[in-house]
Amino acid sequence: MKKPVFAMLLGGFLGIFDGLTALITGGPEIPSQIGVIVAGSMFKGLVAGAIIGLVAQKTQSMAITVTVGLAVRAFFAYLVTIGSPYLWEIVLPGSIVGLIVGFASVKYRGPATSRA
């Protein structure tokens, strides 16, 4: 599995949990909207994971990839907060997911290949 695919899958999976944090940090209207929130967060994770994975594939720099992961997820999370009172409740978990995906993408080596 290539790094962009790995990062997309990890970003989408962690995006589910990112969306579920809305149940903890959000207001009383959140439980009725949780399905849309989780789906949107998973989509953000897939798109950001693709970007992070491509960066991880091009550069092997941990610092660059983690910074890009943080910036991309924070930006996407910020786009969601436009018109919402929950700025930090959305941006902070999204940024943490970006850090994790960036770190894991650099550390991921892929399947071992044997040469005959």
Residue-by-residue pLDDT tens, the chain, 116 positions: 889 999 999 999 999 999 999 999 887 888 999 999 999 999 999 999 999 999 999 998 999 999 999 999 999 999 988 888 888 888 999 999 999 999 999 998 877 666 66
Place of tokens 């436009």: 82
Question: What is the model's pLDDT at position 75?
Answer: 95
Q: pLDDT value at position 114?
A: 61
pLDDT of residue 116: 63
Amino acid at 17: F
Q: For position 39, what pLDDT does the model report?
A: 95
Domain extent, residue 89, equals 3-107
Contact 12, 45 (CB under 8 A): yes
8 A C-beta contact, residue 106 and residue 60: yes
Residue entry with tokens 């599995």: 1
* Both structure tokens of 55: 């960066």
Query: CA–CA separation, 37 vs 72, rounded Å?
Result: 18
Residue 115 lies in a domain: no
Domain contains 113? no
Residue 83 lies inside a defined structural domain of this protein: yes
Does residue 114 fall inside a structural domain? no
34-53 b/e (C-beta count within 10 Å ≥ 16 → b): eeebbebbbebbbbbbbbbb
Tally of structural domains, the chain: 1
* Domain-located, residue 91: yes
Residue 77 resides in a domain: yes
Say if 116 falls within a structural domain. Answer: no
CA distance 14 to 37: 13
Is residue 55 situated within a structural domain?
Answer: yes
